[in-house]
């Protein structure tokens, strides 16, 4: 055991950078994934409400939601509070390499705040018990257990799953008296959501302008640019965080956004399915005892993205110059060569051959659902496209 081995993160050395740049040039990844392929996501719900552990490959993140009665802020007297805390300190040993207020911790905190608080995903007005006097303060603690790349996605999935899993006690406020009911007296109430956001991360390298989704730690540290997109289940953009040193074509970002929108929608469906299964197991009575024991291998079947989304009929396609297809349904290998869309698919509308990709118009019409053909209309602006936050507003027309 050497003195500083724990502080070494893969991807900080020149040799590793060179290696990854060359591998990326040939569209190769160390773990054999394609550039558009993500790692499997596994959810394990705990015994308490609002407790979940997310495994994205080796990256493990735990989220816990707690609630407390508090007083509202004076500027918003009839809204509850939602607070998010991410701790990198602890088992993951991420704080020993960094000084306090380091980039990674700040970016993670800021991203989660933007995705969940600023985008108003939880209906805070429903958390109000008595205006100006009593509101629910919801607190989400995210503990990073292991960092193997893509902390952002893992954290957003964890926070969303924990918030959806959470139940708060019922409470009445009559004649100035506040009464909280225990679980035995009255059922616990879930939180109300306005929308369900999840994020997807892409890495871009100088040697190849094609983005790689869901990077491992080695890929993330050697990346030149990172794009983090956060969509909700209605395919509305909630957060966009793009930065780095690679000059990137806006087209690339739009393509990333398209595939990210599909992926996010599938992810929210997966979380819902996993929650339903957890609910069923709880009603059967067998689950509540196991709780976090699900993390042990011997326990019951894990709730993983691949197994739950296997039978899903929706097949998402996305073609760029070299980007491989993102396959949602597992048992369908011929999708690689299939360039026609599924009749069910209404979100994505690509029917061009890959060779003609340069002619794909830069306008927004590709976004709109139920549009059969992308019309080449540079002046057209889609009116009904809600944008929560956009850092890059300019669109280049061809």
Partner 1 sequence: MNLPDKSEQVAKDKLREMQCKFNPLSRCDGSVMYCQGATVVISAVLGPVEVKTQNLSIDGSYLECNYRPKAGLPQVKERIREAAVRDVLELALLSEAYPRSKMSLQIQELEDRGSIDACALNSACLAMLIGGLPLKCSFAAVHCIINEQGEYILDPDQRETEHERASFTFAFDSLEGNLLLVQTKGSFKIAEFNDVESLCRSASAEILQFYRTSISNYHCRRSDTKTSEEQMET
Q: At its nearest, how many Å lie between partner 1 and the CB of residue 90?
A: 5
Q: Is 53 one of the binding residues for partner 1 (CB under 8 A)?
A: yes
Closest C-alpha among 298, 293, 211, 316 to residue 256: 211
Closest C-alpha among 65, 64, 38 to residue 324: 38
The Cβ of residue 190 has, within 10 Å, a number of other Cβ atoms equal to 15
Q: Is 100 one of the binding residues for partner 1 (CB under 8 A)?
A: no
Q: Is 101 one of the binding residues for partner 1 (CB under 8 A)?
A: no
Q: Is 297 one of the binding residues for partner 1 (CB under 8 A)?
A: yes
Q: Binding marks (x or -) toward partner 1, 167..196, rule CB under 8 A?
A: ----------------x-------------
Considering only 12, 18, 22, 58, the residue that binds partner 1 (CB under 8 A) is 58
Q: At its nearest, how many Å lie between partner 1 and the CB of residue 13?
A: 16
Q: Is 283 one of the binding residues for partner 1 (CB under 8 A)?
A: no
Q: How many CA atoms lie within 13 A of 180 on its CB side?
A: 11
Q: Is 150 one of the binding residues for partner 1 (CB under 8 A)?
A: no
Stretch that binds partner 1, among 34-42, 83-91, 259-267, 350-358 (CB under 8 A): 83-91
Helix (H, G, I), strand (E, B) or coil at 163: helix
Tell me the CA distances in angstroms from 132 to 80, 124, 125, 138, one per residue in order: 10, 14, 12, 17
Burial class (CB in 10 A: 0-12, 13-18, 19+), 84: buried
Helix (H, G, I), strand (E, B) or coil at 89: coil
**Cβ-based nearer residue to partner 1, 14 or 184:** 184
Tell me the CA distances in angstroms from 215 to 22, 58, 225, 293, one per residue in order: 16, 12, 12, 28
- DSSP H or E run through 146: strand 134-146
Q: Is 47 one of the binding residues for partner 1 (CB under 8 A)?
A: yes
Q: Is 295 one of the binding residues for partner 1 (CB under 8 A)?
A: yes
Q: At its nearest, how many Å lie between partner 1 and the CB of residue 330?
A: 25
Q: Is 156 one of the binding residues for partner 1 (CB under 8 A)?
A: no
Site for partner 1 in 4-33 (CB under 8 A): 4-7, 9
What is the C-alpha separation between 238 and 198, in angstroms, rounded? 9
Q: At its nearest, how many Å lie between partner 1 and the CB of residue 3?
A: 5
Tell me the CA distances in angstroms from 239 to 31, 173, 351, one per residue in order: 28, 37, 28
Considering only 62, 161, 229, 260, the residue that binds partner 1 (CB under 8 A) is 62
Binding site for partner 1 (CB under 8 A): 1, 3-7, 9, 46-49, 51, 53, 58, 60, 62, 64-66, 87, 89-93, 96, 139, 141, 143, 145-148, 183, 285-286, 288-293, 295-298
């Amino acid at each position: 055991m050497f003195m500083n081995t724990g502080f070494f993160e893969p991807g900080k050395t020149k040799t590793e950078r060179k290696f990854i740049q060359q591998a990326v040039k040939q569209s190769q990844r160390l773990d054999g994934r394609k550039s558009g392929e993500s790692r499997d996501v596994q959810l394990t719900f705990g015994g308490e409400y609002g407790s979940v552990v997310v495994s994205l490959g080796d990256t493990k993140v735990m989220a816990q939601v707690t609630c407390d009665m508090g007083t509202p802020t004076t500027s918003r007297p009839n809204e509850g509070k939602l607070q998010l805390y991410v701790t990198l300190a602890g088992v993951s040993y991420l704080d020993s390499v960094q000084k306090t207020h380091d980039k990674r911790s700040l970016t993670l905190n800021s991203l989660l705040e933007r995705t969940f608080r600023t985008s108003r995903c939880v209906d805070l007005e429903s958390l109000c018990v008595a205006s100006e006097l009593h509101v629910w303060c919801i607190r989400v603690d995210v503990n990073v257990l292991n960092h193997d790349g893509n902390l952002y996605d893992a954290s957003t999935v964890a926070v969303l799953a924990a918030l959806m899993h959470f139940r708060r006690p019922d409470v009445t406020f009559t004649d100035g008296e506040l009464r909280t009911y225990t679980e035995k007296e009255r059922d616990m109430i879930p939180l109300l959501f306005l929308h369900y956001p999840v994020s997807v991360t892409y890495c871009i390298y100088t040697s190849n302008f094609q983005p790689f989704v869901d990077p491992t730690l080695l890929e993330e540290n050697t990346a030149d640019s990172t794009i983090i997109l956060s969509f909700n289940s209605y395919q509305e953009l909630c957060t966009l965080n793009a930065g780095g040193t690679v000059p990137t074509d806006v087209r690339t970002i739009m393509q990333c956004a398209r595939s990210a929108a599909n992926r996010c929608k599938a992810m929210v469906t997966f979380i819902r399915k996993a929650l339903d299964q957890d609910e069923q197991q709880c009603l059967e009575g067998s689950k509540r005892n196991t709780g976090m024991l699900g993390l042990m291998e011997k326990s019951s079947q894990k709730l993983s993205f691949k197994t739950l989304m296997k039978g899903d009929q929706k097949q998402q396609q996305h073609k760029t110059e070299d980007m491989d297809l993102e396959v949602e349904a597992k048992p369908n290998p011929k999708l690689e060569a299939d360039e026609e869309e599924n009749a069910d698919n209404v979100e994505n509308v690509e029917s061009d051959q890959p060779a003609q990709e340069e002619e794909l118009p830069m306008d927004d019409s590709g976004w709109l659902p139920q549009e059969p053909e992308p019309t080449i209309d540079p002046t057209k602006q889609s009116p009904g496209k809600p944008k929560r936050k956009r850092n890059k507003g300019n669109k280049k027309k061809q």
